[in-house]
Amino acid sequence: MRSVDHVAFTVPDLNQAIAFFVDHVGGEFLFIDGPFADDEGDGMTRRLNVDPRATCTLAMVRLGRINLELFEYSAPERSTAQPLNSDIGGHHLALYVDDVDAARAYLSSVPGVTLMEGPNGVAEGSPVEGQRWFYFTTPWGLQVEITSCPDGTFYRGRPGERMAPPAERRG
């Protein structure tokens, strides 16, 4: 393995998700592809572990050093409930920022965004000591975390356990 290639999320409205990540998070739209379907067999099940009658369209948005793949599916009897972080399959996307307070102030003005409590701090002695963070949900309910560490440091961790640093700031 060389690297993480992308992270993917299924969204209810592909255009809404693209616009959110480009307009409000600073993502770079790369492409849309599809729709994909297999009208003659079970190819969708064999390839993507979904109902054989499912169809999907996907988009790719670059966020810093990560490619974010967004799927919009149509499928019989699919669940539309967002899992909680505590649910099996629960998830969230964490975005590193330089200024947690400025990010929170900006996100508070974005229609449909719901802010959770915070910014929250991390206690002394933790591998992420000094980190500040908060969660929010996008207009369609995806859980996102905003995080930052003091003085430009990032996950000092214990010797030999250093985490990857955030991407360098773009112009």
Asked if residue 1 and residue 69 are part of one domain, the reply reads: yes
For residue 31, give the 3-state DSSP assignment.
strand
**Residues 62, 3 share a domain:** yes
Specify the higher pLDDT residue, 77 or 22.
22
Q: Provide the pLDDT for residue 167.
A: 60
- Asked if the structure places residue 169 within a domain, the reply is no
One domain, residues 159 and 106: yes
CATH number at residue 113: 3.10.180.10
Q: What angle do CA 163, 91, 153 make, to 5 degrees?
A: 25
**Residue 26's domain spans which residues?**
1-76
pLDDT at 2: 79
Average pLDDT, the chain: 88
What SS3 state is found at 106?
helix
**pLDDT score of 159:** 47
More confident residue, 167 or 82: 82
**Residues 101 and 136 reside in one and the same domain:** yes
Q: Where are the alpha helices (DSSP H) in the chain?
A: 14-23, 43-48, 100-107
End-to-end CA distance of the chain: 31
Residue 33: inside a domain, yes or no? Answer: yes
Q: How many other β-carbons are positioned within 10 Å of the β-carbon of residue 164?
A: 10
Backbone angles phi, psi at 23, to 5 degrees: -75, -35
Q: Tokens in use for 99?
A: 């200024």
Are 122 and 157 contained in the same domain? yes
- Same domain? For 57 and 119 the reply is no
- pTM: predicted TM-score of the whole model, two decimal places: 0.87
Give the per-residue pLDDT at 124: 79
pLDDT band at 57; cut points 50, 70, 90 = very high
Asked if the model's pLDDT at residue 92 lies above 70, the reply is: yes
Least confident stretch, 52-61, 75-84, 104-113, 152-161:
152-161
Reading across the β-sheet that carries 66-74, which strands appear in turn? 6-10, 66-74, 55-63, 28-36
| Torsion-angle region of 156 (φ positive above 0: left; ψ -120 to 50: alpha; else: beta) | alpha
Last residue of a domain, one of 76, 111, 135: 76
Q: How does pLDDT run across 105-152, given as a tens digit for each residue?
A: 999 999 999 999 999 988 877 777 788 999 999 999 999 999 988 766
Provide the 3-class DSSP secondary structure of residue 116. Answer: coil
* Phi, psi of 141, rounded to the nearest 5 degrees: 105, 0
Query: How many separate domains does the chain show?
Result: 2
End-of-domain residue from the set 45, 76, 107: 76
Residues 60 and 98 both lie in one domain: no
What is the per-residue pLDDT for 125? 77
pLDDT digits over 6-32, tens only? 999 999 999 999 999 999 999 999 999
